[in-house]
Amino acid sequence: MKESCGGNLNKLWNKKTLLALGLGQCLSLLITSTGFSSSALAKRGINAPTSQSFFNYVLLALVYGSIMLYRRQPVKAKWYYYILLGLVDVEANFLVVKAYQYTTITSVMLLGCWTIPCVLFLTWLVLKTKYRYTKLIGVVICIAGLVIVVFSDVHSADRKSSGNNPLKGDMLVIAGATLYAVTNVTEEYFVKNGDRVELMAFLGIFGSIISGIQISIFERNELKSIQWSSGTTFPFVGFSLAMFLFYSGVPILLKMSGSAMLNLSLLTSDMWSVFIRVFAYHQKVDWMYFVAFATVAVGIIIYS
């Protein structure tokens, strides 16, 4: 009987691990698609980072707010915590999307890995998470994969056209990645101690309000000057839908495996962008990208 229970537990653990790995890569693909959308808008000279994220928050408020109203359950967390979370999340999105105006999609995705050490530190400090050596080894292997990407990226065509101010863009990404770490750890706490639907609903509501205020102050003239066409509308719509699906999936993965696993999974977004460039746009890339992808994949599996 004990042997049967042990076998069932091992089977369940394996199934949970596979689900976490699969969901992580789905989220990574969604982030990759938002990167392509932001890059396409930046190339057209559109500089409206808050506006890009606004419709995502509206969708979250409408969908999850409706579910909350249908449930009629009492709110579990203080509403002002959600205001702070919404503010940090909006500014994190603003900084990272703004970075595409100054640097390349590859640089943005590479520097986004700064979120990982921030998440490890915050989860250890705030959530009292203890990491085994095997998990830390997995993190090191994942970062080693990114180092391989950096070396290969130095010689890539994408790096040659590094944007009009790559240093400013890199600083924006690092600041945004730090704020993303704060939001990820906060969401992990709310998901494990509160309600996922409530989290998404209030994040959408306050994110919409904060974004709307910011747009009216800083991006009103930019939106008026945009020449709307299919080339500008599709990236806006695609970005919003991808972000909505991403935000909907993040709490699920946070509850299953935590914010460190989430950010490790997102490391493959740069490699997915390479695969898209190879198979969709028939561009040539350095063979080291594929070595890097395999290295990051091994690191994620060891961590999980």
Q: Tell me what the mean pLDDT of segment 81-107 comes to.
A: 87
Question: How far is CA 202 from each of CA 64, 70, 213, 265, rounded to the nearest angstrom?
Answer: 8, 15, 17, 26
Task: Give the type of residue at 35.
Answer: G
CB 46 within 8 A of CB 236: no
| pLDDT of 199 above 90 | yes
Q: What is the pLDDT of residue 96?
A: 87
Residue 3 reports pLDDT greater than 80: no
Query: Do 204 and 43 form a contact (C-beta atoms < 8 A)?
Result: no
The tokens describing 38, both together, are 């932001």
Structure confidence at residue 272 (pLDDT): 82
* Residue 9 falls inside a structural domain: no
In a domain, 273, yes or no: yes
Residue 286: per-residue pLDDT: 67
**Considering the domain boundaries, does residue 122 fall inside one?**
yes
Sign of CA dihedral 159, 31, 129, 200: positive
Q: How many residues does this entry show for the chain?
A: 304
pLDDT band at 158 (very low <50, low <70, confident <90, very high): very low
Whether the Cβ atoms of residue 188 and residue 259 lie closer than 8 Å to each other = yes
Which H/E stretch holds residue 215?
Answer: none
6 falls within a domain: no
The DSSP code for 162 is -
Q: Under a CB-based contact definition with an 8 Å cutoff, are residues 37 and 276 in contact?
A: no
What is the residue whose two structure tokens read 């997995």?
138
Mean pLDDT of 189-194: 90
pLDDT value for 27: 95
What pLDDT was estimated at residue 17? 80
Whether residue 10 is contained in a domain is answered as no
Asked whether residue 15 is assigned to any structural domain, the reply reads: no
Overall number of domains in the chain: 1
Please state the pTM of the whole predicted model. 0.82
Percent of the chain with pLDDT over 70: 85
- Residue 6 is predicted with a pLDDT of 52
Residue 253's domain comprises 29-37+48-303
Look at residue 20 and tell me if it is in a domain.
Answer: no
pLDDT value of position 151? 64
Using alpha carbons, list the distances in angstroms from residue 284 to 56, 157, 185, 274, 276.
33, 9, 38, 9, 11
pLDDT band at 60 (very low <50, low <70, confident <90, very high): very high
* Separation between Cα atoms, residue 51 and residue 192, nearest integer Å: 31
**Contact between residue 159 and residue 104 where contact means Cβ atoms under 8 Å apart:** yes
Mean pLDDT, to the nearest integer, of 228-254?
Answer: 93
Nearby residues of 148 by Cβ (< 8 Å), 6 or more positions away: 288, 291, 292, 295
- Count other C-beta atoms under 10 Å from residue 223's C-beta: 13
Quick one: average pLDDT of 88-111? 82
**What average pLDDT does this structure show over 7-12?**
52
Residue 162: the pLDDT is 52
Confidence category of residue 127, pLDDT binned at 50, 70, 90? confident
* φ, ψ (nearest 5 deg) of residue 10: -65, -40
Give kind and range of the element (H or E) at residue 103: none
Report the chain's mean pLDDT, rounded to a whole number: 84
Q: Using 50, 70 and 90 to split pLDDT, how confident is the model at 168?
A: confident
Dump pLDDT digits (tens) for 61-73.
999 999 999 998 8
Answer yes or no: is pLDDT of 159 > 50.
Answer: no
Q: Please say if the pLDDT value at position 185 is more than 50.
A: yes
- Is residue 301 within 8 A of residue 21, CB to CB? The reply is yes
Q: Is residue 220 part of a domain?
A: yes
